[in-house]
Amino acid sequence: MVIMDKKQTLFTYIKRVTDWKVEVKNKEVSLPLYLRTGYTFWYVTIANMDLVFAYTKEDTHDMRRYAQAYKTLREKLDSQVVFVFDYLDTRQINSLIQKHIPFVVLEKYLYLPFALMQIGTAKQSKNQLYKNERLTPDADLILIGYLDGRIRNGMMVKEVAAAIEREIRSTSEALSLLDELEYASVKKEGRSKKVHFETKSEVYERLLRKGLSPLKKSFFTSSEIFGNKAVKSGYSALAHYSALMDTGITTVAISKKAKNLLLDLDTCEEDEALYRVEVWDRDPHTFAQRNVINPLYVLRQFKNDDDERVQYALKEIEEKIKQKWNNR
């Protein structure tokens, strides 16, 4: 990827995970030759703050080098400095955080403590440490499978791929992300790579807070949906897993990749509908139970619903899930 592509990837990534607009500044600063050859600099303004992104051209495992470069750049530039990397392992990430050095790992991780502290008063939803927890659909699906018991510690990559019905390459990428975010570790044992997860309780609590909805959009349809082409979701799934009664229109989930099925469905107003259709970023059949979405998705869908009956139903579902863990 050329340098300009890296720049665009960086700006797009920041916009996606923070919703901050990046404004480029035309600025040149005289810097020592070793800094000019080792980094590409992009001068920008984000949330009324002047920043300099320093894209690292050379990979090094010596974090002391970046600490010294950061000190020099802060002395010479009247702006905050943020290093940009293509890749860092967990040890390197922790080393930079301990030194309070701001950085971005493209598409994977963002640490801007100074910016988040200033913006925190205006946007209380921002954490002081912004760690990108935007799991990919495949990574999220792997965690759902682990909590559901279909994916187990010690499984090989190809076994995980078979469980989520994905290619080995995309599964490997998802597992690498989970490794970097410390949900799991992937280690080579003999000739194979095997995955070992954090405890189910730790993964569950973290995923309940950070997991994103797989829902891309929804609409009402007057068309019949036969057989197992779709699985129950929403309030229909909530009612299935609890004592809550669902008196509304049946809600079903369909993968966005089921394009032919989606094209065959006629949209309509709610009062004419047979179904409310949710379009997901993944196949909702994966880890579904009796043609109903996995209960872990149900907990995620309704975690912010203030209805006491809904919250009671969620507690009922959660207790069943944890009881299932204890019985294994």
What string of DSSP letters covers 288-322? -BTTB--HHHHHHHHTT---HHHHHHHHHHHHHHH
Q: Which of 119, 154, 186 is the last residue of a domain?
A: 119
- Greater pLDDT, 220 or 32: 220
Tell whether the model's pLDDT for residue 127 goes beyond 50.
no
Same domain, 106 and 191: no
Same domain, 198 and 253: no
* 140-165 pLDDT, tens digit each: 999 999 999 999 999 999 999 999 99
Q: How many domains does the chain have?
A: 3
- Residue 103 included in any domain: yes
Place of tokens 């720049």: 7
Place of tokens 């989606």: 262
- Residue 129 included in any domain: no
Q: What is the domain-level CATH number for residue 52?
A: 3.40.1350
* 22-38 pLDDT, tens digit each: 888 888 788 888 888 88
Residue pair 118/47 in contact by the 8 Å Cβ criterion: yes
Q: Angle 200-210/308-326 helices, nearest 10 degrees?
A: 150
Same domain, 200 and 247: no
Same domain, 111 and 19: yes
- Residue 132 included in any domain: no
- Residue 8 included in any domain: yes
Q: Which of 178, 210, 242 is the last residue of a domain?
A: 210
- Residue 265 included in any domain: yes
Model confidence, pTM? 0.61
Decide the pairing of beta strands 250-255 and 103-105: unpaired
- Residue 275 included in any domain: yes
Same domain, 199 and 272: no
Same domain, 243 and 150: no
Confidence of residue 258 (pLDDT cuts 50, 70, 90): very high
Residue-range definition of the domain harbouring residue 88? 3-119
Decide the pairing of beta strands 49-56 and 80-85: parallel
Same domain, 31 and 97: yes
Segment 62-91 shows an average pLDDT of: 86
Residue pair 225/215 in contact by the 8 Å Cβ criterion: no
* 83-111 pLDDT, tens digit each: 999 888 777 887 888 788 899 988 888 88
Q: How far apart are CA 71 and CA 85, in angstroms?
A: 18
Same domain, 92 and 75: yes
